[in-house]
Amino acid sequence: MAAGAASGGSARADTYKDARGWLLLPSWAVLGIFVLGPVCMMLVYSFLTKEFRGGVIWEFSLAAYDQFFFDRGLFGDEPPAIEWTYITIFWRSIWQAGAATLLSLLIGFPTAYFIATRPENARPMWVFLITIPYWVNLLIRTVSMKFLLRDQGPLNDFLIGTGLIDSPIHIVNTNFAVQLGLFYSYLPFMVLPVYAAVERYNFSLSEAAADLYASKWTTLRRIVLPAVKPGVVAGCILVFVPSMGSFLAPDLLGGAKNFMIGSLIEEQFKGNAGNWPFGAAASMVLLTMVLIILMFSARQQAKADKAGG
C-alpha cells in the first residue's frame, strides 16, 4: 500500500513537471525568437562581407573586426596599427555611462530613501509621481530636454531674467548635455530597485546605532548601505547597461563631437550606405563588454556574500 502511494506521488510529480514544462514553452519561445534570435543574427552578420548598397554578402570575413581594431590606411595596404578612433568612441561611451550612473545614484538614492520613509499609504503616490514622465516616448522626452537646454531655451531665459548670467550658457552639444540626457532617461531604473531595498530595511538597526552614539554618516556608511547594497548594485547595472548603448541622447544632445558606440552602431544600419557587418561587429564588442561587466559584478557580489556568510 505504501509502495502504491509512493508510486502515485511520483507519477503526480512527473505530471507536474511535464505541465510546468509546457506552461514555460511560450516564455522560452519568446526569449528564443526575440532575444537570442537577434543576437545570433548579429553574431553571424559580423563575420560576413559588406554589400556596398547595404546588407551583406554571404561570404566569411573578419574585415569588420579588423576595421574596428586596426587601421590599415586609406587603401588598406599599410601595416596594421591600432585604430584609436573606435576605441576612443567606446571609451567615451563607458565614461559617459559611468557618469550618468553616478549622477543617477547621487540623486536616486536620497529620492528612494525619502519615498521609503514616507507613511505606507503615501508611498504609492510618490512612486507614481516618479514614473509619470516615463509614460511619454523617450524620443519626445529627449527632444524636450534639448528644447529646455538650448541657448534660447527656458533654462537660459530664466537665468538671464533673474540676473544670474549675462549671456546664454552653451549646454547643448556638450558632454554634460549627454550626461543629463542619460540621467533623465534612466533615473527611475535607479530609484525603483533602491526603493525596494530600502523599504525592506529594518530601521530599528539605525535606531540601535543612534543609541550607541553613532553619527548619521557612520550609520549610513556602516549599516544602511551594506543592507541595501543589492538594490544599489541592481540600480547601477540597470542604468549603466542601457546608457552604454544609448544613441538618442548622444545624437540629439551631444552632436558629432560626442559620438557614442550606440550612435556608431545606428549609423551602420541607416540607409543604403551603411556597413552591416561592421555595425554587427561593434554590437558584439559592446555585448561582450557588457557581459564582462555583469560577470565581474556578479563575481564580486558572490565574494561579498561568501565573506558575509
Mean pLDDT of 95-121: 93
Where are the alpha helices (H) located in 32-153, listed in sequence order? 37-45, 63-69, 84-116, 123-131, 138-149
Grid cell in block for residue 299: 563575481
Q: For residue 113, give the 3-state DSSP assignment.
A: helix
User: How many angstroms separate the CA atoms of 145 and 9, rounded?
Assistant: 61
pLDDT of residue 9: 54
What is the arithmetic mean of pLDDT over 151-163?
Answer: 88
Q: Are 67 and 278 in contact (CB under 8 A)?
A: yes
Considering the chain, what is the average pLDDT of its residues? 86
Residue 282 and residue 269: Cα distance in Å, rounded? Answer: 12
If one counts every other C-beta atom within 10 angstroms of the C-beta of residue 284, the result is: 19
- In whole angstroms, give the CA distance from residue 220 to residue 229: 12
- Cell numbers placing 75: 587603401
Burial code of 49-61, b = ≥16 C-beta within 10 A, e = fewer?
Answer: ebeeeeebeeeee
Distances, alpha carbon 214 to alpha carbons 200, 205, 206, 233, in Å: 22, 11, 9, 25
Backbone torsion region of residue 81, taken as left when φ is above 0, otherwise alpha when ψ lies between -120 and 50, otherwise beta: beta
- Cα–Cα dist 234/154, whole Å: 35
Quick one: what percent of the chain has pLDDT higher than 90?
A: 37
CA–CA distance, 33 with 27 (Å, rounded to integer): 10
pLDDT of residue 1: 47
Is residue 203 within 8 A of residue 219, CB to CB? The reply is no
Confidence of residue 309 (pLDDT cuts 50, 70, 90): low
Q: CA torsion sign, 242 to 151 to 105 to 194?
A: negative
Architecture of domain 95-263: Orthogonal Bundle (1.10)
Answer for the pair 22, 15: CB distance below 8 angstroms, yes or no. no
Q: What is the pLDDT of residues 178-231, one digit of tens each?
A: 999 999 999 999 999 999 999 999 989 988 998 888 888 999 899 999 899 989
What integer is the mean pLDDT of 80-102?
89
* Res 107: pLDDT: 95
Spatial separation of the C-alpha atoms in residues 229 and 233, rounded to whole Å: 6
User: What is the location of CATH 1.10.3720.10 in the chain?
Assistant: 95-263
Report the half-sphere exposure of 125 (CA within 13 A, side-chain side). Answer: 5
258-308 pLDDT tens trace: 888 988 898 888 766 678 999 999 999 999 988 888 888 888 777 777 776
